[in-house]
Structure 1
Amino acid sequence: MSSRNNLANFGSLKGKRVFVTGGGSGIGEAIVSAFAEQGAKVAFIDIAAAASLALCEKLKAEGHEPAVFRECDIRDIAALQDTMKMLAKEIGDFDVLVNNAANDQRHKLEDVTVEYWNDRIAINQRPMFFTCQAVADGMKNKGGGSIINIGSTSWHISGGGYPVYTTTKAAVSGLTRGLARDLGPYNIRVNTVTPGWVMTERQLQLWVDEKGEKLIDENQCLPGRVQPGHVARMVLFLAADDSAMCTAQEFIVDGGWV
Protein backbone atom coordinates (compact mmCIF):
# COMPACT_ATOMS: atom_id res chain seq x y z
CA MET A 1 0.00 0.00 0.00
CA SER A 2 1.20 3.53 -0.79
CA SER A 3 2.68 5.66 1.94
CA ARG A 4 -0.14 7.36 3.80
CA ASN A 5 1.51 10.67 2.93
CA ASN A 6 0.48 10.06 -0.68
CA LEU A 7 -3.12 9.12 0.12
CA ALA A 8 -6.18 11.37 0.14
CA ASN A 9 -7.04 13.56 3.09
CA PHE A 10 -10.79 13.84 3.64
CA GLY A 11 -11.34 17.28 5.09
CA SER A 12 -14.96 16.55 5.96
CA LEU A 13 -13.87 13.91 8.48
CA LYS A 14 -11.97 16.34 10.69
CA GLY A 15 -13.83 16.63 14.00
CA LYS A 16 -16.38 13.96 13.11
CA ARG A 17 -17.49 11.60 15.88
CA VAL A 18 -16.94 7.96 14.92
CA PHE A 19 -17.91 4.71 16.65
CA VAL A 20 -16.22 1.43 15.69
CA THR A 21 -16.93 -2.08 16.97
CA GLY A 22 -14.00 -4.49 17.25
CA GLY A 23 -11.48 -1.68 16.88
CA GLY A 24 -8.58 -3.13 18.83
CA SER A 25 -6.87 -5.26 16.20
CA GLY A 26 -6.86 -6.33 12.57
CA ILE A 27 -9.16 -4.45 10.21
CA GLY A 28 -10.73 -2.62 13.14
CA GLU A 29 -7.37 -1.27 14.30
CA ALA A 30 -6.65 -0.01 10.79
CA ILE A 31 -10.05 1.71 10.69
CA VAL A 32 -9.61 3.39 14.08
CA SER A 33 -6.11 4.54 13.11
CA ALA A 34 -7.24 5.85 9.73
CA PHE A 35 -9.99 7.98 11.25
CA ALA A 36 -7.66 9.31 13.95
CA GLU A 37 -5.16 10.30 11.26
CA GLN A 38 -7.95 12.26 9.54
CA GLY A 39 -8.59 14.27 12.70
CA ALA A 40 -11.79 12.49 13.68
CA LYS A 41 -12.73 11.76 17.28
CA VAL A 42 -12.95 7.97 17.50
CA ALA A 43 -14.60 5.84 20.16
CA PHE A 44 -14.31 2.08 19.88
CA ILE A 45 -15.09 -1.11 21.74
CA ASP A 46 -13.46 -4.52 21.86
CA ILE A 47 -13.00 -7.45 24.23
CA ALA A 48 -9.23 -7.32 23.73
CA ALA A 49 -8.43 -4.67 26.33
CA ALA A 50 -4.62 -4.85 26.24
CA ALA A 51 -4.37 -4.45 22.47
CA SER A 52 -6.98 -1.69 22.49
CA LEU A 53 -5.25 0.33 25.20
CA ALA A 54 -1.95 -0.08 23.36
CA LEU A 55 -3.58 1.31 20.22
CA CYS A 56 -4.84 4.34 22.15
CA GLU A 57 -1.34 4.98 23.46
CA LYS A 58 0.18 4.58 19.98
CA LEU A 59 -2.22 7.11 18.45
CA LYS A 60 -1.58 9.55 21.28
CA ALA A 61 2.19 9.19 20.85
CA GLU A 62 1.82 9.92 17.14
CA GLY A 63 0.06 13.18 17.96
CA HIS A 64 -3.38 12.24 16.71
CA GLU A 65 -6.72 13.01 18.32
CA PRO A 66 -6.93 10.62 21.30
CA ALA A 67 -9.19 7.61 20.74
CA VAL A 68 -11.61 6.55 23.46
CA PHE A 69 -11.80 2.84 24.29
CA ARG A 70 -14.30 0.87 26.35
CA GLU A 71 -14.19 -2.88 26.88
CA CYS A 72 -17.50 -4.42 25.84
CA ASP A 73 -18.81 -7.81 24.74
CA ILE A 74 -21.14 -7.14 21.81
CA ARG A 75 -23.18 -10.23 22.64
CA ASP A 76 -24.66 -8.25 25.53
CA ILE A 77 -26.92 -5.84 23.67
CA ALA A 78 -27.97 -3.88 26.75
CA ALA A 79 -24.32 -3.32 27.70
CA LEU A 80 -23.46 -2.45 24.09
CA GLN A 81 -26.14 0.19 23.78
CA ASP A 82 -25.45 1.58 27.26
CA THR A 83 -21.76 1.89 26.38
CA MET A 84 -22.62 3.68 23.14
CA LYS A 85 -24.92 6.06 25.02
CA MET A 86 -22.20 6.89 27.55
CA LEU A 87 -19.63 7.45 24.81
CA ALA A 88 -22.00 9.69 22.88
CA LYS A 89 -22.46 11.79 26.03
CA GLU A 90 -18.68 11.96 26.41
CA ILE A 91 -17.67 12.94 22.87
CA GLY A 92 -20.98 13.89 21.20
CA ASP A 93 -23.51 12.10 19.00
CA PHE A 94 -21.89 9.96 16.33
CA ASP A 95 -21.60 11.05 12.72
CA VAL A 96 -20.22 7.69 11.63
CA LEU A 97 -20.83 4.10 12.73
CA VAL A 98 -18.58 1.25 11.57
CA ASN A 99 -19.86 -2.23 12.38
CA ASN A 100 -16.64 -4.19 12.13
CA ALA A 101 -16.60 -6.75 14.96
CA ALA A 102 -16.95 -10.40 13.87
CA ASN A 103 -15.52 -13.86 14.38
CA ASP A 104 -14.88 -16.25 11.49
CA GLN A 105 -14.29 -19.37 13.60
CA ARG A 106 -14.39 -22.50 11.45
CA HIS A 107 -17.06 -25.15 12.07
CA LYS A 108 -18.77 -28.09 10.40
CA LEU A 109 -22.44 -28.36 9.51
CA GLU A 110 -22.87 -31.52 11.57
CA ASP A 111 -21.32 -29.98 14.67
CA VAL A 112 -23.54 -26.91 14.91
CA THR A 113 -25.86 -26.91 17.90
CA VAL A 114 -28.62 -24.42 18.64
CA GLU A 115 -26.39 -22.93 21.32
CA TYR A 116 -23.49 -22.50 18.89
CA TRP A 117 -25.78 -21.04 16.22
CA ASN A 118 -27.19 -18.50 18.67
CA ASP A 119 -23.72 -17.52 19.87
CA ARG A 120 -22.45 -16.92 16.32
CA ILE A 121 -25.54 -14.87 15.49
CA ALA A 122 -24.98 -12.94 18.71
CA ILE A 123 -21.47 -12.00 17.55
CA ASN A 124 -21.73 -11.65 13.79
CA GLN A 125 -25.25 -10.44 13.09
CA ARG A 126 -27.40 -9.21 15.99
CA PRO A 127 -25.14 -6.36 17.20
CA MET A 128 -25.11 -4.71 13.76
CA PHE A 129 -28.82 -4.01 13.97
CA PHE A 130 -28.74 -2.71 17.52
CA THR A 131 -25.77 -0.40 16.99
CA CYS A 132 -27.66 1.11 14.06
CA GLN A 133 -30.68 1.52 16.29
CA ALA A 134 -28.53 3.19 18.93
CA VAL A 135 -27.05 5.85 16.62
CA ALA A 136 -30.13 6.62 14.54
CA ASP A 137 -31.67 9.34 16.72
CA GLY A 138 -28.35 11.13 17.20
CA MET A 139 -27.69 11.11 13.45
CA LYS A 140 -31.20 12.39 12.75
CA ASN A 141 -30.63 15.25 15.20
CA LYS A 142 -27.36 16.11 13.45
CA GLY A 143 -29.01 16.12 10.04
CA GLY A 144 -27.35 13.02 8.69
CA GLY A 145 -24.64 10.41 9.11
CA SER A 146 -22.92 7.40 7.61
CA ILE A 147 -23.30 3.78 8.69
CA ILE A 148 -20.78 1.30 7.30
CA ASN A 149 -21.32 -2.41 7.84
CA ILE A 150 -18.38 -4.74 7.22
CA GLY A 151 -19.32 -7.78 5.16
CA SER A 152 -17.30 -10.68 3.74
CA THR A 153 -16.68 -12.21 0.34
CA SER A 154 -16.93 -15.65 1.98
CA TRP A 155 -20.53 -16.14 0.90
CA HIS A 156 -20.00 -14.57 -2.53
CA ILE A 157 -17.39 -17.21 -3.37
CA SER A 158 -19.40 -20.06 -1.78
CA GLY A 159 -16.75 -20.44 0.89
CA GLY A 160 -17.10 -23.63 2.93
CA GLY A 161 -16.11 -24.57 6.45
CA TYR A 162 -18.13 -21.98 8.38
CA PRO A 163 -21.78 -22.04 7.26
CA VAL A 164 -23.14 -19.98 10.17
CA TYR A 165 -20.56 -17.27 9.47
CA THR A 166 -21.45 -17.09 5.76
CA THR A 167 -25.14 -16.90 6.71
CA THR A 168 -24.52 -13.91 8.98
CA LYS A 169 -22.33 -12.14 6.46
CA ALA A 170 -24.85 -12.59 3.65
CA ALA A 171 -27.40 -10.95 5.96
CA VAL A 172 -25.27 -7.80 6.15
CA SER A 173 -26.38 -6.80 2.66
CA GLY A 174 -30.04 -7.16 3.62
CA LEU A 175 -29.58 -5.01 6.71
CA THR A 176 -27.72 -2.36 4.73
CA ARG A 177 -30.28 -2.09 1.95
CA GLY A 178 -33.30 -2.12 4.24
CA LEU A 179 -31.94 0.53 6.58
CA ALA A 180 -30.74 2.67 3.68
CA ARG A 181 -34.36 3.00 2.61
CA ASP A 182 -35.65 3.73 6.11
CA LEU A 183 -32.90 6.18 7.07
CA GLY A 184 -32.36 7.86 3.71
CA PRO A 185 -34.99 10.58 4.30
CA TYR A 186 -32.87 11.73 7.25
CA ASN A 187 -29.73 11.98 5.10
CA ILE A 188 -28.26 8.91 6.81
CA ARG A 189 -26.34 6.76 4.35
CA VAL A 190 -25.89 3.01 4.89
CA ASN A 191 -23.35 0.97 2.94
CA THR A 192 -21.48 -2.33 3.12
CA VAL A 193 -17.73 -2.66 2.75
CA THR A 194 -16.86 -6.22 1.89
CA PRO A 195 -13.25 -7.31 2.37
CA GLY A 196 -11.71 -10.27 0.61
CA TRP A 197 -8.99 -12.31 2.26
CA VAL A 198 -7.24 -9.67 4.34
CA MET A 199 -3.79 -10.30 5.74
CA THR A 200 -4.51 -9.62 9.40
CA GLU A 201 -2.35 -11.16 12.10
CA ARG A 202 -5.15 -13.62 12.90
CA GLN A 203 -5.43 -14.79 9.28
CA LEU A 204 -1.68 -15.12 8.91
CA GLN A 205 -1.41 -17.17 12.10
CA LEU A 206 -4.37 -19.47 11.50
CA TRP A 207 -5.20 -19.82 7.81
CA VAL A 208 -2.70 -18.35 5.34
CA ASP A 209 -0.50 -21.35 4.64
CA GLU A 210 1.16 -22.39 1.39
CA LYS A 211 -2.16 -23.67 0.04
CA GLY A 212 -3.84 -20.40 0.96
CA GLU A 213 -1.17 -18.34 -0.76
CA LYS A 214 -1.65 -20.38 -3.93
CA LEU A 215 -5.41 -19.89 -3.73
CA ILE A 216 -5.00 -16.12 -3.49
CA ASP A 217 -2.60 -16.03 -6.42
CA GLU A 218 -4.99 -18.06 -8.56
CA ASN A 219 -8.10 -16.02 -7.80
CA GLN A 220 -7.16 -12.38 -7.30
CA CYS A 221 -6.93 -10.23 -10.45
CA LEU A 222 -4.31 -8.04 -8.78
CA PRO A 223 -0.95 -9.23 -7.49
CA GLY A 224 -0.04 -8.63 -3.87
CA ARG A 225 -2.19 -9.05 -0.79
CA VAL A 226 -5.19 -7.18 0.60
CA GLN A 227 -4.10 -5.40 3.78
CA PRO A 228 -6.27 -3.95 6.59
CA GLY A 229 -5.36 -0.47 5.42
CA HIS A 230 -6.94 -1.06 2.02
CA VAL A 231 -10.27 -1.77 3.69
CA ALA A 232 -9.90 1.24 5.98
CA ARG A 233 -9.43 3.58 3.02
CA MET A 234 -12.75 2.50 1.52
CA VAL A 235 -14.40 3.04 4.89
CA LEU A 236 -12.97 6.57 5.04
CA PHE A 237 -14.40 7.38 1.61
CA LEU A 238 -17.87 6.19 2.59
CA ALA A 239 -17.74 8.13 5.84
CA ALA A 240 -16.66 11.34 4.12
CA ASP A 241 -18.79 13.86 2.24
CA ASP A 242 -17.06 12.72 -0.97
CA SER A 243 -19.51 9.79 -1.07
CA ALA A 244 -22.57 11.98 -0.42
CA MET A 245 -24.84 10.14 -2.88
CA CYS A 246 -23.64 6.60 -2.14
CA THR A 247 -26.07 4.49 -0.12
CA ALA A 248 -27.55 0.98 -0.14
CA GLN A 249 -24.43 -0.27 -1.92
CA GLU A 250 -21.77 -2.93 -1.41
CA PHE A 251 -18.15 -1.93 -2.02
CA ILE A 252 -15.86 -4.94 -2.40
CA VAL A 253 -12.15 -4.70 -1.53
CA ASP A 254 -10.69 -8.06 -2.52
CA GLY A 255 -8.11 -7.56 -5.26
CA GLY A 256 -10.65 -8.65 -7.88
CA TRP A 257 -11.58 -12.10 -6.58
CA VAL A 258 -15.38 -11.79 -6.62
Structure 2
Amino acid sequence: MLSAIYPSLAGRRVVVTGGGSGIGAAMVESFVRQNAKVHFLDIAEADARSLESRLSDVAHPPVFHRCDLTDIGEIHATFAAIEASGGPVNILVNNAANDDRHEVDRVTPHYWDARIAVNLRHQFFCAQAVAGGMRAMGQGVILNLGSISWHLALPELSLYMTAKAGIEGLTRGLARDLGKFNIRVNCIVPGAVRTPRQMQLWQTPESEAKVVAAQCLQQRIDPAHVAEMALFLASDDAARCSGREYFVDAGWYGA
Protein backbone atom coordinates (compact mmCIF):
# COMPACT_ATOMS: atom_id res chain seq x y z
CA MET A 1 0.00 0.00 0.00
CA LEU A 2 1.14 3.55 -0.72
CA SER A 3 1.90 5.64 2.35
CA ALA A 4 1.72 9.35 2.97
CA ILE A 5 5.05 11.08 3.65
CA TYR A 6 5.28 13.08 6.86
CA PRO A 7 8.35 15.33 6.72
CA SER A 8 8.05 16.10 10.44
CA LEU A 9 8.87 12.47 11.29
CA ALA A 10 12.30 12.52 9.63
CA GLY A 11 15.03 12.31 12.24
CA ARG A 12 12.60 11.88 15.13
CA ARG A 13 13.63 9.37 17.80
CA VAL A 14 10.91 6.72 18.06
CA VAL A 15 10.52 3.83 20.49
CA VAL A 16 8.11 0.99 19.69
CA THR A 17 7.42 -1.64 22.36
CA GLY A 18 6.64 -5.16 21.19
CA GLY A 19 8.18 -4.18 17.87
CA GLY A 20 9.52 -7.56 16.78
CA SER A 21 6.42 -8.91 15.06
CA GLY A 22 2.82 -8.23 14.10
CA ILE A 23 1.50 -4.68 14.47
CA GLY A 24 4.70 -3.62 16.23
CA ALA A 25 6.90 -4.72 13.34
CA ALA A 26 4.68 -2.82 10.91
CA MET A 27 5.09 0.26 13.14
CA VAL A 28 8.87 -0.13 13.13
CA GLU A 29 9.04 -0.45 9.36
CA SER A 30 6.63 2.40 8.73
CA PHE A 31 8.54 4.84 10.93
CA VAL A 32 11.85 3.72 9.41
CA ARG A 33 10.46 4.41 5.94
CA GLN A 34 9.74 7.97 7.15
CA ASN A 35 13.46 8.35 7.96
CA ALA A 36 12.83 8.27 11.70
CA LYS A 37 15.42 6.88 14.10
CA VAL A 38 13.68 3.85 15.55
CA HIS A 39 14.44 1.75 18.62
CA PHE A 40 12.21 -1.22 19.35
CA LEU A 41 11.77 -3.42 22.41
CA ASP A 42 10.77 -7.07 22.55
CA ILE A 43 11.58 -10.43 24.14
CA ALA A 44 11.08 -12.34 20.88
CA GLU A 45 14.72 -12.12 19.86
CA ALA A 46 14.58 -14.23 16.69
CA ASP A 47 11.76 -12.17 15.18
CA ALA A 48 13.42 -8.93 16.25
CA ARG A 49 16.81 -9.81 14.75
CA SER A 50 15.13 -10.86 11.53
CA LEU A 51 13.37 -7.48 11.32
CA GLU A 52 16.64 -5.67 12.03
CA SER A 53 18.31 -7.58 9.23
CA ARG A 54 15.50 -6.94 6.76
CA LEU A 55 15.67 -3.19 7.39
CA SER A 56 19.46 -2.89 7.57
CA ASP A 57 19.80 -1.07 4.25
CA VAL A 58 17.81 2.06 5.14
CA ALA A 59 19.23 5.47 6.11
CA HIS A 60 18.54 4.89 9.81
CA PRO A 61 18.35 1.13 10.52
CA PRO A 62 16.18 0.28 13.54
CA VAL A 63 17.89 -0.79 16.76
CA PHE A 64 16.58 -3.75 18.75
CA HIS A 65 16.71 -3.82 22.57
CA ARG A 66 15.79 -6.98 24.42
CA CYS A 67 13.55 -5.85 27.27
CA ASP A 68 11.09 -7.69 29.48
CA LEU A 69 8.43 -5.03 29.94
CA THR A 70 7.01 -6.79 32.98
CA ASP A 71 10.27 -5.88 34.77
CA ILE A 72 10.20 -2.20 35.75
CA GLY A 73 13.95 -2.23 36.34
CA GLU A 74 14.54 -3.38 32.77
CA ILE A 75 12.25 -0.65 31.48
CA HIS A 76 14.23 2.03 33.32
CA ALA A 77 17.59 0.64 32.20
CA THR A 78 16.54 0.26 28.56
CA PHE A 79 15.11 3.74 28.20
CA ALA A 80 18.12 5.24 29.97
CA ALA A 81 20.39 3.49 27.46
CA ILE A 82 18.32 4.71 24.51
CA GLU A 83 18.41 8.29 25.76
CA ALA A 84 22.14 8.09 26.47
CA SER A 85 22.78 6.88 22.93
CA GLY A 86 21.37 9.94 21.21
CA GLY A 87 19.05 12.08 23.27
CA PRO A 88 15.45 12.17 24.43
CA VAL A 89 12.68 10.15 22.78
CA ASN A 90 10.31 12.17 20.58
CA ILE A 91 7.70 9.47 20.02
CA LEU A 92 6.73 6.45 22.16
CA VAL A 93 4.45 3.76 20.75
CA ASN A 94 3.16 1.56 23.59
CA ASN A 95 2.27 -1.47 21.49
CA ALA A 96 3.30 -4.57 23.46
CA ALA A 97 0.51 -6.86 24.70
CA ASN A 98 -0.55 -10.47 25.00
CA ASP A 99 -4.12 -11.60 24.31
CA ASP A 100 -4.06 -15.10 25.79
CA ARG A 101 -7.56 -16.48 26.31
CA HIS A 102 -8.69 -17.43 29.82
CA GLU A 103 -11.71 -18.78 31.68
CA VAL A 104 -13.04 -16.84 34.66
CA ASP A 105 -12.96 -19.81 37.05
CA ARG A 106 -9.30 -20.56 36.29
CA VAL A 107 -7.90 -17.08 36.98
CA THR A 108 -5.59 -16.91 40.00
CA PRO A 109 -4.20 -13.77 41.69
CA HIS A 110 -0.81 -14.54 40.12
CA TYR A 111 -2.33 -14.82 36.64
CA TRP A 112 -4.27 -11.57 37.20
CA ASP A 113 -1.08 -9.72 38.15
CA ALA A 114 0.80 -11.20 35.18
CA ARG A 115 -1.90 -10.17 32.68
CA ILE A 116 -2.05 -6.61 34.02
CA ALA A 117 1.74 -6.39 33.94
CA VAL A 118 2.02 -7.53 30.32
CA ASN A 119 -0.94 -5.55 29.01
CA LEU A 120 -1.29 -2.34 31.05
CA ARG A 121 1.33 -1.54 33.69
CA HIS A 122 4.28 -1.14 31.33
CA GLN A 123 2.44 1.47 29.27
CA PHE A 124 2.46 3.83 32.24
CA PHE A 125 6.07 3.19 33.20
CA CYS A 126 7.32 3.52 29.61
CA ALA A 127 5.45 6.83 29.39
CA GLN A 128 7.01 7.88 32.68
CA ALA A 129 10.45 6.98 31.33
CA VAL A 130 10.15 9.30 28.31
CA ALA A 131 8.14 12.12 29.88
CA GLY A 132 11.14 13.87 31.44
CA GLY A 133 12.97 14.19 28.15
CA MET A 134 9.81 15.28 26.36
CA ARG A 135 9.17 17.96 28.97
CA ALA A 136 12.71 19.26 28.51
CA MET A 137 12.18 19.45 24.72
CA GLY A 138 8.76 21.06 25.09
CA GLN A 139 7.13 18.48 22.84
CA GLY A 140 6.47 14.77 22.44
CA VAL A 141 3.99 12.12 21.37
CA ILE A 142 2.83 9.02 23.23
CA LEU A 143 0.63 6.52 21.41
CA ASN A 144 -1.00 3.76 23.43
CA LEU A 145 -2.49 0.68 21.75
CA GLY A 146 -5.93 -0.30 22.99
CA SER A 147 -8.28 -2.95 21.61
CA ILE A 148 -11.74 -3.28 20.13
CA SER A 149 -12.26 -6.36 22.34
CA TRP A 150 -13.74 -4.64 25.38
CA HIS A 151 -15.98 -2.44 23.23
CA LEU A 152 -17.53 -5.64 21.86
CA ALA A 153 -17.34 -7.77 25.05
CA LEU A 154 -15.56 -10.64 23.34
CA PRO A 155 -15.48 -14.00 25.19
CA GLU A 156 -12.62 -15.45 27.29
CA LEU A 157 -10.74 -12.17 27.48
CA SER A 158 -11.90 -10.65 30.77
CA LEU A 159 -8.46 -9.65 32.04
CA TYR A 160 -7.20 -8.53 28.63
CA MET A 161 -10.30 -6.37 28.22
CA THR A 162 -9.86 -4.95 31.73
CA ALA A 163 -6.34 -3.87 30.82
CA LYS A 164 -7.34 -2.49 27.43
CA ALA A 165 -10.21 -0.50 28.91
CA GLY A 166 -7.74 0.87 31.46
CA ILE A 167 -5.44 2.02 28.65
CA GLU A 168 -8.09 4.39 27.38
CA GLY A 169 -8.40 5.89 30.86
CA LEU A 170 -4.61 6.07 31.14
CA THR A 171 -4.47 7.87 27.80
CA ARG A 172 -6.84 10.58 28.94
CA GLY A 173 -5.07 11.00 32.27
CA LEU A 174 -1.64 11.31 30.68
CA ALA A 175 -2.97 13.66 28.00
CA ARG A 176 -4.30 15.97 30.71
CA ASP A 177 -1.22 15.84 32.93
CA LEU A 178 1.34 16.17 30.13
CA GLY A 179 -0.53 18.48 27.77
CA LYS A 180 0.84 21.59 29.49
CA PHE A 181 4.28 20.54 28.19
CA ASN A 182 3.01 20.13 24.59
CA ILE A 183 3.06 16.34 24.91
CA ARG A 184 0.24 14.72 22.99
CA VAL A 185 -1.17 11.35 24.13
CA ASN A 186 -3.62 9.30 22.07
CA CYS A 187 -4.93 5.75 21.92
CA ILE A 188 -5.18 3.66 18.76
CA VAL A 189 -7.89 1.01 18.92
CA PRO A 190 -7.31 -1.78 16.38
CA GLY A 191 -10.05 -4.13 15.31
CA ALA A 192 -9.47 -7.69 14.11
CA VAL A 193 -5.99 -7.36 12.61
CA ARG A 194 -4.55 -10.09 10.39
CA THR A 195 -1.29 -10.71 12.27
CA PRO A 196 0.65 -14.00 12.12
CA ARG A 197 -0.23 -14.69 15.79
CA GLN A 198 -3.95 -14.15 15.23
CA MET A 199 -3.97 -16.32 12.14
CA GLN A 200 -2.03 -19.11 13.82
CA LEU A 201 -3.84 -19.22 17.16
CA TRP A 202 -7.34 -17.80 16.89
CA GLN A 203 -8.63 -17.33 13.37
CA THR A 204 -10.19 -19.86 11.01
CA PRO A 205 -11.78 -19.22 7.61
CA GLU A 206 -15.16 -19.40 9.34
CA SER A 207 -14.27 -16.92 12.10
CA GLU A 208 -12.70 -14.54 9.58
CA ALA A 209 -15.85 -14.56 7.50
CA LYS A 210 -17.93 -13.81 10.60
CA VAL A 211 -15.74 -10.84 11.53
CA VAL A 212 -15.76 -9.40 8.03
CA ALA A 213 -19.52 -9.72 7.82
CA ALA A 214 -19.87 -7.67 11.04
CA GLN A 215 -17.68 -4.84 9.73
CA CYS A 216 -19.02 -1.86 7.77
CA LEU A 217 -16.02 -2.23 5.45
CA GLN A 218 -15.98 -5.89 4.57
CA GLN A 219 -12.24 -6.17 4.13
CA ARG A 220 -9.55 -7.55 6.45
CA ILE A 221 -7.35 -5.20 8.46
CA ASP A 222 -3.59 -5.67 8.17
CA PRO A 223 -0.87 -4.38 10.55
CA ALA A 224 0.09 -1.72 8.01
CA HIS A 225 -3.34 -0.11 8.32
CA VAL A 226 -2.79 0.40 12.06
CA ALA A 227 0.73 1.70 11.42
CA GLU A 228 -0.65 4.31 9.03
CA MET A 229 -2.79 5.73 11.83
CA ALA A 230 0.26 5.83 14.10
CA LEU A 231 2.26 7.78 11.52
CA PHE A 232 -0.43 10.44 11.26
CA LEU A 233 -0.94 10.79 15.01
CA ALA A 234 2.82 10.96 15.62
CA SER A 235 3.35 13.62 12.96
CA ASP A 236 2.96 17.38 13.24
CA ASP A 237 -0.11 17.03 11.00
CA ALA A 238 -1.93 15.83 14.14
CA ALA A 239 -0.73 18.78 16.23
CA ARG A 240 -4.14 19.37 17.82
CA CYS A 241 -5.05 15.72 18.45
CA SER A 242 -4.74 14.53 22.05
CA GLY A 243 -6.60 12.59 24.71
CA ARG A 244 -8.71 10.63 22.24
CA GLU A 245 -9.25 7.15 20.82
CA TYR A 246 -8.79 6.50 17.12
CA PHE A 247 -10.34 3.28 15.81
CA VAL A 248 -8.86 1.20 12.98
CA ASP A 249 -11.54 -1.48 12.96
CA ALA A 250 -13.32 -1.18 9.58
CA GLY A 251 -16.46 -0.27 11.54
CA TRP A 252 -16.80 -3.53 13.48
CA TYR A 253 -20.05 -3.47 15.45
CA GLY A 254 -20.61 -7.09 16.36
CA ALA A 255 -18.79 -10.25 17.41
TM-score (norm 2): 0.97
Shift in Å at residue 142 of structure 1?
1.0
Deviations 1:117-156 (A, max 9, x none): 0000110010000001000010011111000000000000
Instruction: Name the structure 1 match of 2:191.
Output: 196
The residue that corresponds to 1:227 in the other structure is 222
Q: State yes or no: 1:140 paired with 2:135.
A: yes
CA distance in 1, matches of 2:240, 2:182: 10
C-alpha distance after superposition, 1:78-117 (max 9, x if no partner) = 1111101101111321000000000000000000000000
> What is the distance in 2 between the residues matched to 1:155 and 1:217?
18
- Counterpart residue identity of residue 6, structure 2: F
Query: Which residue of structure 2 aligns with residue 21 of structure 1?
Result: 17
CA deviation string 1:15-35 (max 9, x = no partner): 000011000000000000000
Displacement over 3 Å in runs of 4+: none
Matched, 1:154 2:149: yes
Identity among equivalent positions (%) equals: 50
Aligned twin of 1:75? 70
**Equivalent position to 2:125, from 125, 130, 135:** 130
* Alignment counterpart, residue 172 of structure 1, candidates 167, 175, 187: 167
Quickly say closer, same or farther: Cα 1:223–1:187, change in 2 above 3 A.
same
What is the rounded CA distance, in whole Å, between the counterparts of 2:97 and 2:145 in structure 1?
9
Q: Secondary structure at the match of 2:135?
A: helix
Q: CA deviation at 1:195?
A: 0.2
Query: Deviation of residue 223 (structure 1)?
Result: 2.1
1:208 deviates by: 1.1
Residue deviations 1:29-80, cap 9 Å, x none? 000000000000001110011110111111113x241111111110101111
Report what 2:116 is aligned to: 121
Separation of aligned partners in 1, 2:217 and 2:181 = 38
Give the equivalent residue in structure 1 for 2:50: 54
Structure 2 letter corresponding to 1:35: F
Structure 1 unaligned regions, length at least 5: none
Mapped to 2, the partners of 1:192 and 1:168 lie a distance apart of 13
Aligned equivalent of 2:212: 217
Shift of 1:230: 0.2
Unaligned runs of 5+ in 2: none
What are the within-5 Å matches in structure 2 for residues 82-101 of structure 1?
A: 82-101=77-96
Root-mean-square deviation (CA, aligned residues, Å) is 0.9
2:189 alignment partner, SS class? strand
Give the structure-1-normalised TM-score.
Answer: 0.96
Q: Which amino acid aligns with 2:43?
A: I
Please, which moves more after superposition, 216-225 or 98-107? 216-225
Paired AA for residue 34 in structure 1:
S
